[in-house]
Amino acid sequence: MSVCLIKIQAVNNEISQLVERHLATNNPADDKLAPFRQQAAIIARKKETTAEQLTELRNKLSALEEELQVKYCIAFANDVMNFRHVLSVSFMASN
Task: Give the C-alpha separation, 10 to 57, whole Å.
Answer: 21
Number of domains in the chain: 1
Task: Give the C-alpha separation, 35 to 73, whole Å.
Answer: 57
**Mean pLDDT for the chain overall:** 86
- Domain residues for the domain of 77 are 3-94
Alpha helices in the chain (DSSP H): 3-25, 34-94
Which pTM was predicted? 0.52
The string of pLDDT tens digits covering residues 49-71 is: 999 999 999 999 999 999 999 99
